[in-house]
Protein backbone atom coordinates (compact mmCIF):
# COMPACT_ATOMS: atom_id res chain seq x y z
CA UNK A 1 0.00 0.00 0.00
CA UNK A 2 1.58 3.34 -1.01
CA UNK A 3 2.00 5.91 1.75
CA UNK A 4 0.37 8.83 0.00
CA UNK A 5 -2.88 9.11 1.93
CA UNK A 6 -1.83 12.16 3.95
CA UNK A 7 -0.67 14.05 0.88
CA UNK A 8 -4.20 14.02 -0.54
CA UNK A 9 -7.64 15.06 0.71
CA UNK A 10 -9.29 12.16 2.53
CA UNK A 11 -12.02 11.59 -0.15
CA UNK A 12 -9.36 11.36 -2.89
CA UNK A 13 -7.20 9.10 -0.75
CA UNK A 14 -10.24 6.83 -0.30
CA UNK A 15 -10.70 6.59 -4.05
CA UNK A 16 -7.06 5.75 -4.65
CA UNK A 17 -7.11 3.16 -1.90
CA UNK A 18 -10.01 1.48 -3.69
CA UNK A 19 -12.29 1.69 -0.67
CA UNK A 20 -15.66 3.31 -0.12
CA UNK A 21 -16.03 5.62 2.89
CA UNK A 22 -17.91 2.83 4.67
CA UNK A 23 -15.45 0.08 3.83
CA UNK A 24 -14.17 -1.43 7.09
CA UNK A 25 -10.73 -1.74 5.52
CA UNK A 26 -10.31 2.02 5.10
CA UNK A 27 -9.54 2.89 8.73
CA UNK A 28 -7.09 -0.01 8.88
CA UNK A 29 -5.27 1.00 5.71
CA UNK A 30 -5.04 4.67 6.70
CA UNK A 31 -3.82 3.70 10.15
CA UNK A 32 -1.08 1.58 8.57
CA UNK A 33 -0.05 4.59 6.50
CA UNK A 34 0.04 6.77 9.60
CA UNK A 35 2.27 4.27 11.39
CA UNK A 36 4.57 4.12 8.38
CA UNK A 37 4.86 7.90 8.31
CA UNK A 38 5.82 7.79 11.98
CA UNK A 39 8.43 5.12 11.31
CA UNK A 40 9.89 7.31 8.57
CA UNK A 41 10.29 10.18 11.04
CA UNK A 42 7.49 12.22 9.47
CA UNK A 43 5.94 12.97 12.84
CA UNK A 44 3.83 15.99 11.89
CA UNK A 45 2.34 14.16 8.90
CA UNK A 46 1.67 11.06 10.98
CA UNK A 47 -0.02 13.11 13.69
CA UNK A 48 -2.27 14.87 11.17
CA UNK A 49 -3.42 11.54 9.72
CA UNK A 50 -3.91 10.03 13.18
CA UNK A 51 -6.11 12.97 14.14
CA UNK A 52 -8.22 12.43 11.03
CA UNK A 53 -8.59 8.73 11.80
CA UNK A 54 -9.54 9.41 15.42
CA UNK A 55 -12.10 11.98 14.28
CA UNK A 56 -13.73 9.79 11.61
CA UNK A 57 -13.69 6.45 13.44
CA UNK A 58 -13.69 7.19 17.19
CA UNK A 59 -15.37 3.87 18.06
CA UNK A 60 -13.22 1.65 15.86
CA UNK A 61 -10.07 -0.04 17.10
CA UNK A 62 -7.97 2.11 14.75
CA UNK A 63 -9.58 5.33 16.00
CA UNK A 64 -8.94 4.39 19.62
CA UNK A 65 -5.34 3.43 18.80
CA UNK A 66 -4.87 6.66 16.83
CA UNK A 67 -5.94 8.69 19.88
CA UNK A 68 -3.30 6.93 21.95
CA UNK A 69 -0.67 7.44 19.26
CA UNK A 70 -1.41 11.17 19.15
CA UNK A 71 -0.17 11.48 22.74
CA UNK A 72 3.01 9.63 21.80
CA UNK A 73 3.58 11.80 18.73
CA UNK A 74 2.98 14.97 20.76
CA UNK A 75 5.68 13.84 23.19
CA UNK A 76 8.09 13.29 20.30
CA UNK A 77 7.32 16.74 18.87
CA UNK A 78 7.75 18.38 22.28
CA UNK A 79 11.13 16.69 22.76
CA UNK A 80 12.26 17.81 19.29
CA UNK A 81 11.07 21.35 20.04
CA UNK A 82 12.98 21.44 23.31
CA UNK A 83 16.13 20.26 21.53
CA UNK A 84 15.83 23.01 18.91
CA UNK A 85 15.38 25.61 21.64
CA UNK A 86 18.41 24.22 23.48
CA UNK A 87 20.47 24.48 20.30
CA UNK A 88 19.28 28.07 19.81
CA UNK A 89 20.37 29.02 23.33
CA UNK A 90 23.71 27.35 22.63
CA UNK A 91 24.19 29.39 19.42
CA UNK A 92 23.33 32.61 21.26
CA UNK A 93 25.66 31.77 24.15
CA UNK A 94 28.55 31.08 21.76
CA UNK A 95 27.82 34.40 20.00
CA UNK A 96 27.77 36.31 23.29
CA UNK A 97 31.10 34.73 24.25
CA UNK A 98 32.60 35.74 20.91
CA UNK A 99 31.29 39.28 21.34
CA UNK A 100 32.90 39.45 24.80
CA UNK A 101 36.25 38.37 23.33
CA UNK A 102 35.94 40.98 20.59
CA UNK A 103 35.19 43.68 23.15
CA UNK A 104 38.20 42.79 25.28
CA UNK A 105 40.49 43.09 22.26
CA UNK A 106 38.90 46.12 20.57
CA UNK A 107 37.27 48.01 23.43
CA UNK A 108 33.93 48.02 21.62
CA UNK A 109 31.51 45.62 19.93
CA UNK A 110 31.63 44.98 16.16
CA UNK A 111 29.25 46.54 13.68
CA UNK A 112 28.43 43.13 12.18
CA UNK A 113 28.53 39.58 13.55
CA UNK A 114 30.63 38.58 10.54
CA UNK A 115 33.53 40.37 12.26
CA UNK A 116 33.58 37.52 14.79
CA UNK A 117 34.54 34.95 12.15
CA UNK A 118 36.99 33.27 12.53
CA UNK A 119 39.23 35.12 15.00
CA UNK A 120 36.84 35.26 17.94
CA UNK A 121 35.66 31.67 18.22
CA UNK A 122 32.97 31.39 15.54
CA UNK A 123 33.36 29.25 12.42
CA UNK A 124 30.54 31.02 10.61
CA UNK A 125 28.01 33.80 11.04
CA UNK A 126 25.59 32.36 13.61
CA UNK A 127 22.17 31.10 12.56
CA UNK A 128 19.40 29.32 14.43
CA UNK A 129 18.78 25.55 13.97
CA UNK A 130 16.09 26.41 11.39
CA UNK A 131 18.50 28.57 9.38
CA UNK A 132 17.46 32.07 10.43
CA UNK A 133 20.07 34.72 11.24
CA UNK A 134 20.24 36.21 14.72
CA UNK A 135 19.15 39.83 15.14
CA UNK A 136 22.14 41.91 16.25
CA UNK A 137 22.25 45.63 17.03
CA UNK A 138 25.31 47.26 18.62
CA UNK A 139 24.89 50.71 20.14
CA UNK A 140 26.50 53.28 22.40
CA UNK A 141 24.86 53.05 25.78
CA UNK A 142 27.05 55.34 27.89
CA UNK A 143 27.00 59.09 27.39
CA UNK A 144 30.38 60.80 27.09
CA UNK A 145 31.45 64.43 26.99
CA UNK A 146 33.30 63.83 23.77
CA UNK A 147 31.23 63.47 20.68
CA UNK A 148 28.04 65.19 21.77
CA UNK A 149 26.60 64.38 18.36
CA UNK A 150 27.55 60.74 18.73
CA UNK A 151 30.39 60.74 16.23
CA UNK A 152 33.20 59.53 18.50
CA UNK A 153 31.39 57.24 20.89
CA UNK A 154 32.03 53.51 21.11
CA UNK A 155 29.61 50.63 20.65
CA UNK A 156 29.72 49.52 24.30
CA UNK A 157 26.36 47.69 24.31
CA UNK A 158 24.36 45.39 22.06
CA UNK A 159 21.04 43.67 21.53
CA UNK A 160 21.01 40.05 20.33
CA UNK A 161 17.91 38.01 19.62
CA UNK A 162 16.31 35.03 18.02
CA UNK A 163 12.78 35.78 16.87
CA UNK A 164 11.85 32.10 16.53
CA UNK A 165 10.65 30.21 13.51
CA UNK A 166 8.31 33.01 12.37
CA UNK A 167 10.95 35.80 12.54
CA UNK A 168 8.31 38.01 14.17
CA UNK A 169 8.18 39.54 17.65
CA UNK A 170 6.21 37.55 20.21
CA UNK A 171 5.00 33.99 19.79
CA UNK A 172 5.23 30.77 21.77
CA UNK A 173 7.08 27.49 21.49
CA UNK A 174 9.35 27.46 18.44
CA UNK A 175 8.14 30.96 17.55
CA UNK A 176 9.08 32.39 20.96
CA UNK A 177 11.63 35.21 21.17
CA UNK A 178 14.94 35.08 23.04
CA UNK A 179 16.15 38.60 23.80
CA UNK A 180 19.63 39.35 25.15
CA UNK A 181 21.16 42.64 26.26
CA UNK A 182 24.95 42.60 26.61
CA UNK A 183 24.97 38.82 26.98
CA UNK A 184 22.09 38.59 29.45
CA UNK A 185 18.67 37.11 28.76
CA UNK A 186 15.86 39.56 29.55
CA UNK A 187 12.26 38.70 30.36
CA UNK A 188 10.78 41.74 28.60
CA UNK A 189 8.78 41.23 25.40
CA UNK A 190 10.76 43.92 23.58
CA UNK A 191 14.10 45.68 23.84
CA UNK A 192 14.42 48.98 25.74
CA UNK A 193 14.83 52.10 23.57
CA UNK A 194 18.33 52.77 22.27
CA UNK A 195 19.81 56.07 23.53
CA UNK A 196 20.10 58.86 21.02
CA UNK A 197 22.22 60.09 19.28
CA UNK A 198 24.27 57.12 18.13
CA UNK A 199 27.74 56.91 16.55
CA UNK A 200 27.99 57.44 12.80
CA UNK A 201 30.13 54.55 11.54
d(CA 47, CA 66): 9
Regions of the chain short of the pLDDT cut 70:
1-24, 142-152
What's the pLDDT tens digit per position in 141-170? Answer: 866 545 445 455 789 999 999 999 998 888
CA 11 to chain centre: 33
Check whether the bond before 197 is cis (ω within 30° of 0). Answer: yes
Q: Are 123 and 165 in contact (CB under 8 A)?
A: no
Which residue ranges form the domains of the chain, and what is each CATH number? 5-57 (no CATH), 82-185 (3.30.700)
What pLDDT does 151 receive? 53
DSSP 192: P
End-to-end, the C-alpha distance of the chain in Å comes to 63
The pLDDT score that the predictor gives to residue 143 is: 60
Which residue, among 115, 120, 96, has the nearest Cα to 186 in the 3D structure? 96
DSSP string for 13-47: HHHHHT--TT-HHHHHHHHHHHHHHHHTT-HHHHH
Give the pLDDT confidence score for residue 170 in this predicted structure.
87
| Dihedral angle computed from the Cα positions of residues 116, 118, 120 and 124, in that order, rounded to the nearest 10 degrees | 60
Mean pLDDT of the chain: 86
Amino acid sequence: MPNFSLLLPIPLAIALLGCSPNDPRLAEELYKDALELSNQGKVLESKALMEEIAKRWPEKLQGIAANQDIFRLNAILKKAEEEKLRQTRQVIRATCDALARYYIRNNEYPIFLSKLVPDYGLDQVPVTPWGHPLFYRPFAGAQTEQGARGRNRRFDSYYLASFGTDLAPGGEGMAADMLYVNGRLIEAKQFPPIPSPQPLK
